[in-house]
Structure 1
Amino acid sequence: MLTLTNVAWLNLLCLAGVGVYLLMRVFSKKNPAPYPPGPAGLPLIGNVLDMPQIKPWLIFTEWGKKYGDISHVEVLGQHIMVVNSVKTAMDMLEKKSTVYSGRPVLPMAGELVGWKHSLPLISYGDRFRQHRKNLHRIIGSRAALEVYNPIEDIETRRFLKRVFETPDQLQEHVRHTAGAIILRISYGYEVKENGDPFVDLAGRALDQFSRATHPGAFMVDFMPFLAKVPEWFPGAGFKRQAREWHETVEEMVSAPYQFVKDQMAAGIAPKSFISDLLEDHTLTAEENDIVRWSAVSLYGGGADTSVSAIYSLFLAMTLFPDVQKKAQAEIDAIVGPDRLPSFADFNSLPYTEALAKEVLRWNVVAPMGFPHRVTEDDIHNGYYIPKDSFIIANIWSMLNDPETYANPSEFNPERFLASDGKEPETEPRTICFGFGRRICPGLLHAEASVWLFAVRSLAVFDISKVVEDGVEITPKVDQLCHAGTISHPKPFKCSIKARSAKAIALIEQDANY
């Protein structure tokens, strides 16, 4: 009996998809203007083979140099526009936000895995606005964030003590503390010191989200009929993977939410995002669902992106000791050695503020952001942008553009400080958190967290290169991206030591909360 291999089955499915694509091309109307320029692609399959899987932002940057601010590719009928300049991103995603604020329908991440109700994937509309309204109450203004400053204070103190005791576990300490902060804010949950189940759950879920939403990672996103293929079908391994990931999503949505409800029923729930929204309110089933998913958006957004940024901070301090010394000199002069810096010192430490900004620019957390979808046909700068096109803003390229940032590979906080008549360079916050109506709602919290981690770590620690067998080890600046949306620095070694006996006393004294 003849059988088909997995590859043969997939080839047949792809041929079917190509057939549909060809019919669409045959019967499609004449375009009112040309598409933006881009790689030519191949007959029938278009640019399937041109879509990069490893560090795509680098390939997209090369496209920008060759084709201009907007590059166009087409993958089995799906139009994708890659934007490489800030001006074009602003003109399209900000000024035309009524047309450019949609989100792609991603069968893998949204339908199969189950993220379709999360803020990044919701279509623009009433549900989206309610999510944003919920989040704005908690993290949408500096005044709202101040309520949760004590949580940031306590958890960063605990972070210093963990790092002091086991500096070789830096990455784990960063992840643990970022999770602890956002879980306290979202659910009033205080994490366990080791192996906390909710921190581990967030790590798994967000890694899976990053993989599932990576442009081009799953053919089902371009050929949605593949979602109907049964799990046992040859070549349908993505269906089994989606089922496993779906279980993680369900747990992430339900478990911490139920924790809050149980605490409230017992009358012992501390103040949190969820308790504020539930207290003295009778919610409809839909409102209840929006509350659950709003918390997931807060929990998810704060538990992964902050990890990448803070880990990048330690990498930068390892590689750029002169920057570290300047920041420490400012902290020593303004704060002194007898206490830790706090949010009250923010306006008095301009160099350290600039350093935190440079962290966000130098090693980009989300190099391509998250794709927008065009909800109507548009003509932009003479180019045709058809309805339902994906718009990918190449944030990495924008933050590494030498015409905007002098010597972009150099970690230089002074680029954001005016001096000798020189204007500061462009604020990274106008780029790194996205554009238009889809801008990250947690940007103020992210900036505050990175600054507090930076100023307190530099107040008490000297960070330097490791010396092994008499040889100084220089970490490489490289981003680890498991074909995902969020990028992290590759693990690296560094030496972290207390600056003085007074620093040790501060770490030991202030961690005992």
Structure 2
Amino acid sequence: MENSSLGLDYFTSAPANSSTSLVYGFVIALFSLFFLERLFQSRKNALPLPPGPRGFPLVGNLLDMPKPTDFQAHHWAKHKDLYGPISSVSVFSKTMIVLNDPEVVNDLFEKRSIEFSSRPQQIFAADYMGWKHGTGLIKYNDSLRFQRKAMARILGTKSAAAQYNNLQEAEVGHFLLNMLESPQDLRQHLAKEAGTIILKLSYGYTTERSGKDPLLSIMNKAMEDLALAIVPGRYMVDNFPMMRYIPEWLPGGGWKKDGRRYAADVKYTVETPYKFVQKQMEQEKHEQSYLSQALETTEDTPMNVRNNKWTAASIFGAGSDTTVAVNSAFYLAMALFPEVQKRAQAEIDAVVGSDRLPVASDRKSLPYVDALVKEIIRWHPIVPMGLPHTNEKDAEYKGYRIPKHAILMPNVWLFTHDPTVYPDPFQVRPERFLKGQTLTAKNPPDPLSFAFGFGRRVCPGKLLADNTVYLTFAQSLAVYNIAKPVVDGKTIEPKAEFKASVISHPADYEVSVKPRSAHHEKMIRALEEKFPWQESNAKEFMEAAAS
């Protein structure tokens, strides 16, 4: 991710014919209004904010903020020793509340969920990129309730999620086949596996067997752009909303050009697959999917059309990249902790045997593999700082003021790396989640309770994602050995390093992935007959896009 220097680079270039006096007058007026607003608010409110570092006039704690390239959770974890379980910083007009204790998160996001279930205003991503109706960014309102209810209907229960077991098993099987052909392309194969499952589920769309797929490519690009845009500090307008009134040609307005470019991409990403499903249904060629069911069961009103479009797109956003991040962390961990891999393989061999692959119904009989899923999610939580919540009214917590529209950030990474709760937190030790073999006096919290969000913003697709991850882990272990690569006789040591992003992936690494035996290779190849490749819908999608 490039370092945007908190977006200040936009102030460094101006058209040659711009009026310097106009520029400075405009900026000074904005800062003056901001300062007066803050002064009024500070006098109006008597309760103190949670403790935090002392700020400077106007900019507040701008200099205390992590850079976009910093691993945010590590930065904010330091606040716990300095200021306690809840702390705060203020940048321009924004107050950020850092939650470094799961008990505080439970108090606010669970027990008081009706107060703390909205999302902070993401001015750039929502208003300028066009994501304001996306399920992940939308405020707590009727549209959100509609979207979550619709998602829960097809994803939110075990019985609802179970209807996709065959789809998941087929695509995990295709992933194993792809790994046999080109194991060096692990990251691409994981992305193809996760994306194909979600596109089939959301739109009834079948991706290309190999090479780039048009729909998968645009969806992945849109999610990458969004992940960059919502990094705190990436765009100054999110911290200083008055910047939205700066014309694009003035210094400080250059980010609007980015917004226009992204907005066109986002519109295409949301509208075009919707058109594809409509055309498939008109021709009675569609496969059953979330969107086809929604179109059949909801009235054709402008609000329903909008919500159906955005919910379908949001399912991809919530379930694709996150699944890739977990599965990528798993492959890295198996190379780094071979004794864990051997124990999991031994359990699979003993319970399932070597004549078939483990499936969803085997999970209860594979407690170590089930514990491994929990442990990988604990070892590297995919959204280390969670997704922020906000409150629509002023609130109070233990004598502290939480101002209206504060940004509340749960440090999920710190929760899962607390050595008093999870001893040896940087080691992968699935036995910590096995009954009778835990590493502490009492059973540790299930990290899945942190990983998929909190309160009324819990991910509706967590059961589906959890099953995809389990199947990928279990079936990979059943047929493959994952090891550190050996190049020219030297073992290459992968590093447990992770990227700084809202959804955090392992840094680039290399591992060796080989079939466990000739018999296991034969099992993999048999999957092509069991799950034959389907013809892609790429042609129909491009026709819909052109219409």
Matched-pair contact (CA < 8 Å) for 2:91–2:239? yes
Q: Deviations over 1:10-47 (max 9, x none)?
A: 88766444322320233233423211111112233110
Describe the shift of the 1:493–1:343 C-alpha distance in structure 2 as closer, same or farther (beyond 3 A). same
Q: Which residue of 2 aligns with 1:93?
A: 109
Q: Which residue identity does 2:63 align to in structure 1?
A: L
Instruction: Name the counterpart of 1:463.
Output: 482
Secondary structure at 2:98 match in 1 = strand
For 1:194-233, what aligned pairs fall within 5 Å after superposition? Answer: 194-233=211-250
C-alpha RMSD of the superposition: 1.7
- Are 2:79 and 2:87, in contact at CA under 8 Å, matched by a contact in 1? yes
- Name the counterpart of 1:120: 136
Q: Determine whether 1:290 maps to 2:303.
A: no
Give the aligned partner of residue 170 of structure 1. 186
Q: What is the CA distance between 1:376 and its match in structure 2? A: 1.6
Indicate conservation of the 8 Å contact 2:50/2:88, yes or no: yes
Structure 1 residue aligned with 2:453, among 414, 418, 434? 434
Tell me the equivalent position of 1:478. 497
Counterpart of 1:374, as a letter, is N
| CA displacement 1:145-179 (0-9 Å, x = unmatched) | 11111110111100001011100000000001100
User: Where do 5+ consecutive residues of structure 2 fail to align?
Assistant: 1-10, 15-19, 533-547
Q: Which runs of 5+ in 1 are unaligned?
A: none
2:350 matches 1:321: no
Q: In structure 1, the residue corresponding to 2:205 is in which secondary structure?
A: coil
Give the AA of the match of 2:488: D
* Of 6, 9, 22, the match for 2:13: 6
Q: Distance in 2 between matches of 1:499 and 1:460?
A: 6
1:18 and 1:45 in contact (8 A); partners too: no
Structure 1 counterpart SS, 2:286? coil
Instruction: Name the residue aligned to 2:34.
Output: 21
Q: CA deviation at 1:349?
A: 0.5
Q: Which stretch has the larger CA shift, 41-50 or 328-337? A: 41-50
CA distance in 2, matches of 1:199, 1:465: 30
The normalised TM-score by structure 2 is 0.90
Task: Select the residue among 160, 165, 177 that pairs with 1:149.
Answer: 165
State how far apart, in whole Å, the 1-side matches of 2:130 and 2:160 are. 30
Counterpart for residue 57 of structure 2:
43
Match of 1:449 among 465, 468, 480: 468
The 1:332/1:5 distance shift into structure 2, 3 A limit, reads: closer
8 Å Cα contact 1:18/1:76 also seen in 2: no
AA at the equivalent of 2:427: E
Corresponding residue number in structure 1 for 2:321: 304
Alignment of 1:233-244 (within 5 A): 233-244=250-261
- Distance between the aligned counterparts of 1:361 and 1:126, measured in 2? 33
Distance in 2 separating the partners of 1:315 and 1:420: 24
Instruction: Give the partner amino acid of 1:56.
Output: Q
Q: Give the Cα separation in 2 of the matches to 1:466 and 1:10.
A: 57
Q: Which residue number in structure 1 is paired with residue 542 of structure 2? A: none
Distance 1:497 1:39 in 2: 51
Task: Report the CA distance shift for 1:389/1:296 in structure 2 as closer, same or farther (over 3 A).
Answer: same
| 1:271 and 2:288 correspond | yes
Query: Deviations for 1:329-376, whole angstroms, at most 9, x for unmatched residues?
Result: 000000111011111111110100010111111112111111111112
Question: What code does the residue aligned with 2:465 have?
Answer: A
Task: Check conservation: 1:17, 1:223, Cα contact below 8 A.
Answer: no
Deviations 1:172-192 (A, max 9, x none): 000011000000000010000
Local SS of the residue matching 1:511: helix
Partner of 1:369: 386
Aligned to 1:396: 413
Of 146, 151, 154, 1:130 maps to 146
Q: Letter of the aligned partner of 2:486 in structure 1?
A: V
Separation of aligned partners in 2, 1:46 and 1:367:
25
Identity %: 39
Partner of 1:158: 174
Once residues 239 and 18 of structure 1 are traced to their aligned partners in structure 2, the CA distance between those partners, rounded to angstroms, is 20
**2:293 is the alignment partner of 1:249:** no
Q: Using the alignment, how far apart are the partners of 2:455 and 2:168 within structure 1?
A: 28
1:68 aligns with 2:74: no
Equivalent in the alignment of 1:33: 47
The answer to whether the 8 A contact 1:163-1:169 is kept is: yes
After the TM superposition, which of the residue ranges 442-451 and 415-424 deviates more from structure 2?
A: 415-424
Does residue 262 (structure 1) correspond to residue 263 (structure 2)? The answer is: no
The whole-number CA distance in structure 2 between the counterparts of 1:360 and 1:270 is: 33
* Alpha-carbon contact 1:465-1:474 (below 8 Å) kept: yes
Q: Is this contact kept in 1: 2:116–2:389, CA < 8 A?
A: yes
- 8 Å CA contact 1:107–1:224 kept in 2: the answer is yes
Q: How many residues align?
A: 508
The change in CA–CA distance for 1:332 and 1:16 in structure 2 (over 3 A counts) is farther
**What is the deviation of 1:511?**
2.6
TM-score (normalised: structure 1): 0.96
What CA distance in whole angstroms lies between the structure 1 residues aligned with 2:471 and 2:23?
50
Residues 367 and 486 of structure 1 are in contact (CA less than 8 Å); yes or no, is this contact kept in structure 2? yes
